[in-house]
A and B are shown apart, each in its own frame.
Chain A
Amino acid sequence: VVAASMVSLPAFASTVEEDIKTLIGGAEVKEGGIDLSAPEIAENGNTVPVEVDAEGAESITLFAAGNPTPAVATFKFGPLSPSQSASTRIRLAKTQDVVAIAKMKDGSFRRASTTVKVTIGGCGG
Chain B
Amino acid sequence: GAWAKVAAQQALTQDQLLEFDTFGNVSIIHVTDIHAQMMPIYFREPEINIGVGSNKGHVPHLTGADFRKAYGVGEGTPAQYALTYEDFSSLAKSYGKVGGLDRVSTIINSIRADRPDALLLDGGDTWHGSLTCYKTEGQDMVNVMNALKPDAMTFHWEFTLGSERVNEIVEGLPFAALGQNIFDAEWDEPAELFKPYKFFERGGVKVAVIGQAFPYMPIANPRWMFPEYSFGIRDENMQEMVDEVRAAGAECVVCLSHNGFDVDKKMASRVKGIDVILSGHTHDALPEPVLIEKTYIVASGSNGKFVSRIDLDIRNGKMMGIKHKLIPVFSDVIAPDPVITKLIDEQRAPYKKELEEVIGKSDSLLYRRGNFSGTWDDLICEALIEEREADISMSPGVRWGPSILPGQDITREDLFNVTSMSYGEAYRTKMTGEFIHVILEDVADNIFNPDPYYQQGGDMVRTGGLNFTCDISKPQGKRISDLTLTKTGEKIEASKEYWVAGWASVNEGTEGPQIWDVVESFIRKKGTVSVSGESNVKVVGV
Contacts and interface: CB of A to CB of B under 8 A. Distances in A.
A108 to B, nearest CB: 29
Main secondary structure of the interface of B (DSSP, over half): loop
Closest 3 CB pairs of A and B: A124-B220, A125-B458, A125-B399
Contacts of B456: 124-125
Nearest to B281: A125
Interface string A7-44: 00000000000000000000000000000000111111
Contacts of A95: 476
A120 interface: yes
Interface in B423-455: 427, 429, 435, 438-439, 442-443, 445-446, 451, 453-454
B427 A2 contact: yes
Contacts of B476: 95
Nearest to A123: B396
A124 B230 contact: no
Contacts of A124: 214, 216, 219-221, 396, 398, 456-458
Contacts of B500: 2
B220 A123 contact: yes
A40 to B, nearest CB: 5
Interface string A38-55: 011111100001000000
B457 A3 contact: no
B475 to A, nearest CB: 12
Interface residues of A, number: 22
Interface in B185-207: 188
A122 B230 contact: no
B505 interface: yes
17 contacts: A2-B502, A4-B506, A39-B232, A43-B216, A43-B230, A87-B188, A121-B216, A121-B442, A122-B396, A123-B220, A123-B396, A123-B443, A124-B219, A124-B456, A125-B260, A125-B399, A125-B459
Interface of B: 188, 214, 216-221, 223, 230-232, 260, 281-283, 394, 396-400, 427, 429, 435, 438-439, 442-443, 445-446, 451, 453-454, 456-459, 461, 476, 500, 502, 504-507
Contact of B506 (A2, A41, A42, A87): A2
Nearest to A87: B188
Contact of B400 (A3, A42, A125): A125
Given A4-B506, A39-B232, A122 B218 contact: no
Nearest to B441: A120
Interface in A75-108: 87, 95
B274 to A, nearest CB: 21
Given A3-B439, A41-B216, A121 B454 contact: no
Contacts of A1: 394, 396, 439, 443, 461, 502, 504-506
A4 B219 CA distance: 9
Of the listed residues B188, B223, B506, the one surrounded by the most CB atoms of chain A closer than 10 A to its CB is B506
A2 B232 contact: no
A39 B214 CA distance: 15
Contact of B505 (A39, A40, A44, A122): A122
Given A122-B396, A123-B396, 17 more contacts: A1-B504, A1-B505, A2-B506, A2-B507, A39-B232, A41-B454, A43-B231, A119-B446, A121-B218, A121-B220, A121-B446, A122-B461, A123-B220, A123-B446, A125-B282, A125-B399, A125-B456
A11 to B, nearest CB: 17
B219 A121 contact: yes
Given A1-B502, A125-B398, A119 B445 contact: yes
A83 B283 CA distance: 45
A2 B425 CA distance: 12
Contact of B504 (A49, A119, A123): A123
Contacts of B260: 125
A45 to B, nearest CB: 10
Interface in A110-125: 117, 119-125
Nearest to A5: B507
Given A41-B219, A49-B188, A3 B454 contact: no
Contacts of B281: 125
Contacts of A122: 220, 396, 443, 461, 504-506
A43 B507 contact: no
Contacts of B394: 1-2
Contacts of A41: 216, 219, 453-454
B74 to A, nearest CB: 30
